Each structure stands twice: as C-alpha cells, then as structure tokens.
Amino acid sequence: MFYPSMSCPARWFAALAAVMMSAAAVPHALAADQPRICQVDVREYPGRDPAMWDGLYAARDGKVYSGLIREGESAHFYVYDPAKDANLLLFDMAEALGERGRAVRTSGKIHNRPVEDNEGNIYFVPLNNGSGPQTIDYLSWRGGHWMMYDPKTGKLENLGLVDEGIGIYPLTIDKTRNYLFGIGFTGYLYRFDIKNRITRNLGRVSNWDVCRNIFCDDEGNVYGSFPTARVWKYEAKTERVRDLSIRTPFDPSGFPTQLRNPMIDRSYDWRAIQWDEIDKVAYGVTCGSGSTLFRFDPHDGPEGAITPLARMCDSRFLGAPRKDIPYSTLAFALDSRNKKVYFVPSARPYTIQGYVETFGSKESHHLIAYDIAKGERIDLGALQTADGRRVFGCEGAAVGPGGTLYLCGQVEVADASKATGMIDKTPAALHLVIYRP
C-alpha cells in the first residue's frame, strides 16, 4: 500500500489504483510473448574503470560525457563524439586536481550527472567520500571541487572548493541565475555562484541517506527528496529552504536496501528525477516502492502535485505483491521531445545476507520505456548487442538531441584481458551502450 499525504487530491488515489491494476496485468501478457531482445550498440571506454553512478550527460551539441569511477585511485572524465564515433579520455581527475603522488586520498568518484549552462560549458564535482585508499588518512582529502569544462577550448577549470572534506552527490543548475546546487554526503545543500565563485551552505536537507537526484524548475526553485517520501524546496525568490507536505509514492512494507541492517535509507527517497523543459513538470522514479514512476507538477496548487504513473521495476517483479524488489538504479532518462521515459531497473535477486549493488548481477537486464502521451509502460526486452553479448546492470542514462538513448553499464567482453571484472564466469567491462529507437 502507498501512503500519500492527507492533502493529496482524489485524483492521486485514482491514478494509484490504475497503476496497481495495470501492473498486475502485465505478467499475463508477458507469459504469452517470446523472449524479447532489445538490440543495442556498445562502445568501449579507453580506461579500465570498473564502476559509475549517474555520471552520464548528453550535451546539446550531441556529445556524450561520462564520469567513471575507480575507487582508491582516480575518477576519469570521457567524451563520446557520435560524429566521429570516438570515445576518448579527457581527464584523470587525481592528476587534474594535483592529488596524485602526494600520499593523500584522491577524487576517485564522479557521482553526479554533469550539467550544462547556456554557453555550452559542462559542470561536475568529483569526490572521494570513503573511496580510499583505506590505508591513507581520510582527512587528507581536501574536498570536492566545482569543475567546469569548456568544449570550445578543451580547458578544464577548477572553480573552487565545495567545502572541507565534502563532495557532492546530486547536482543541478539554474541556468538563468548561473547557480549550481548540490548536496554533500552529510546532507547539507550547497549553492555555487558561478560568476562570483562563491559557495553558500544553505543548511541541512536530509538527516538520513542523501537523495541522488535534485532538479531546478523554470522559476529557479530547486527540489529534493528526503525520508520518508518527503520533498523539500529551495525557493529562488526568498533563498530559503522549506519542507513540503506532499509525498512521493511510498510503500513502507517494502524491504530496505539491506535487511541485515534495516534502516531508513535511500529506498525511502526518490531515486532519479528530471525536469521537462517543454511541459514544465518533472518525471521521477522512486528508489524503493517498486520503482514507481511519477509526475511532479510544482505549479499545480500551493505546493505542487505528484501523480503516480506506472511501476518501472523489472517485469519479473510485477503481478503478485512482493516486498523483495531491488531498489532502483540511476539509469533513468527523459526524452522531452518524443514524450518518453527510459529506465533500466535492477534485475538482481534480493538477498538478506548483505548489501549488494546492481553491478555484478548475472541476470539479463531489460530496457523499460514509458510513453507519456499514451500512458503506456513498455518492456523493450533484454539488452543485447548484435553479436549476442549481454548487457548487465546499468547505472547511468541520457537522451541525446536526436532521441538516441545512451546508457552506461557492464557488457560482456570476448577478450578477457579487457575485462574489469567477472560476472559469474563471464568477463565484463563498462561500455557506453547506444539504443536508437
């Protein structure tokens, strides 16, 4: 059962009932179908980074940027140029920040989706946040830095420190006021004035696990999620943060990220969310609660309105009520022009023995689409290359200007020397995955 706020209108309940009824009907249709394959192209990364979370962005000029992770060593920033069909390394972050060879902890992660300003500059924040090396004092890491990449000059510029020992998870931009916003792992919201290069701590917005995505609307207001199924808002006019009474779809009986250590965690937040610049609404997916897709209209009523649309979890989990649905991935993307939402849910089985990630799962992973105009959820099939190589877990997604979907995920490799890990007995490595609708 989902628990909305008492102030939610009757249409919230009607929409939720429709979502649950349609989800229950899906497995019967699937049973009659043959196994489906969603054919994709893949491109290797020139490095050997084993992980990534959310660091994927398709710019207005069509180029695709990836921030990949090598914990205890360095994050790496790549660019894929579709016109040249080339995936290139731009920067080693430990080297760019002068951390390498100094016996300090390094910026081994990029855990945020890069953002773009009106001039085409790309922004992101690398971080350490416990990525090691564990033999080096964690206090040796200075903190995350606001980074700007100018594609016109090829120059990467360090704009300044976020805070001492603090990196940024979610990142968004107010393109009108030229502000960056991000949340540190301690739950504080930061605002960076790009022109004047001033960082301001706006206060704590979460006392538990930090949500991994925030968004900025057309008025410069910024929104984020915090447990349990709550929403906060930064008001651009007053420059104040307040908690709203509206709630995201939420099933409190669903399992947390790990049962051996049950707690209020990210499964009580939204997992991913993106602003639709055309329709002036946001689309997001819950982290727990069956990966429920919802629409958030911040201009509907005094606090906005949230409407559940469909369950986007792997199709095997639809039908009978289940509490062991794995929490959502960050492979979520909105195609505003073509009115589509794309999501690659986790297909891994739930385990009570410990904390597990989507990466490393040997299950086939499906691409799920939602047609906004038709209100229809579509399982496009198991991701696979033309030569039969399987695509496993994905943790990043972005849609290019022409509607091409880009994913970052683990892909089976024929040459074991190119693998960054083994999935069961299959060698695999991170690839840029390309789906052309």
Q: What is the pLDDT of residues 284-316, one digit of tens each?
A: 999 989 999 999 999 999 999 999 999 999 999
- H or E segment and range at residue 15: helix 10-32
Q: Answer whether 407's CB lies under 8 Å from 435's CB.
A: yes
Half-sphere exposure of 172 (CA within 13 A, CB side): 22
The CA R_g of the chain, rounded to the nearest whole Å, is 20
Bridge partners of residue 273, in order along the sequence: 284
Separation CA 88–CA 95 (nearest Å): 17
Task: Give the tokens for residue 307.
Answer: 């409407």
CA-angle at 29, arms to 25 and 32, nearest 5°: 150
Closest CA to 393 of 434, 341, 345: 345
pLDDT in tens, 404-414: 999 999 999 99
CA-angle at 340, arms to 386 and 295, nearest 5°: 140
Q: Which domains are present in the chain?
A: 37-162+272-435 (2.120.10)
Question: What do you get for the CA distance between the two ends of the chain, in Å?
Answer: 35
Separation CA 206–CA 264 (nearest Å): 11
Task: Give the tokens for residue 385.
Answer: 């290359």
Please tell me the predicted confidence (pLDDT) of residue 6.
35
The position carrying tokens 């689309």 is 283
Separation CA 232–CA 241 (nearest Å): 7
pLDDT in tens, 219-235: 999 999 999 999 999 99
Task: Give the tokens for residue 118.
Answer: 């009106």
Separation CA 203–CA 301 (nearest Å): 26
Distance of alpha carbon 151 from the chain centroid: 23
Q: Answer whether 202's CB lies under 8 Å from 179's CB.
A: no
* Residuewise pLDDT in 10s, the chain (437 residues): 444 443 444 444 455 445 544 554 444 334 334 579 999 999 999 999 999 999 999 999 999 999 999 999 999 999 999 999 999 999 999 999 999 999 999 999 999 999 999 999 999 999 998 888 889 999 999 999 999 999 999 999 999 999 999 999 999 999 999 999 999 999 999 999 999 999 999 999 998 789 999 999 999 999 999 999 999 999 999 999 999 999 999 888 887 777 666 777 778 899 999 999 999 999 999 998 999 999 999 999 999 999 999 999 999 999 877 888 888 999 999 999 999 999 999 998 777 766 677 888 899 999 999 999 999 999 999 999 999 999 999 999 999 999 999 999 999 999 999 999 999 999 999 999 999 99
Phi, psi dihedrals of residue 127, rounded to the nearest 5°: -155, 170
Please tell me the predicted confidence (pLDDT) of residue 351.
72
Distance of alpha carbon 177 from the chain centroid: 24
Closest CA to 433 of 346, 367, 351: 367
- H or E segment and range at residue 47: none
Please tell me the predicted confidence (pLDDT) of residue 256.
78
Residue 435: how many other CB atoms lie within 10 Å? 22
Please tell me the predicted confidence (pLDDT) of residue 19.
57
Separation CA 105–CA 370 (nearest Å): 42
Closest CA to 192 of 213, 212, 178: 178
Note the pTM of the prediction, 2 decimals. Answer: 0.92
Task: Give the tokens for residue 4.
Answer: 């909305």
Separation CA 193–CA 179 (nearest Å): 5
376-385 and 391-399: which strand pairing?
A: unpaired
Q: What is the DSSP letter of 430?
A: E
Task: Give the tokens for residue 235.
Answer: 């008001």
Closest CA to 57 of 140, 163, 147, 191: 147
Q: Answer whether 128's CB lies under 8 Å from 109's CB.
A: yes
Instruction: State the alpha helices, DSSP H only, in 218-319.
Output: none
* Three-state SS letters, 75-115: CEEEEEECCCCEEEEEEEHHHHCCCCCCCCCCCCEECCCCE
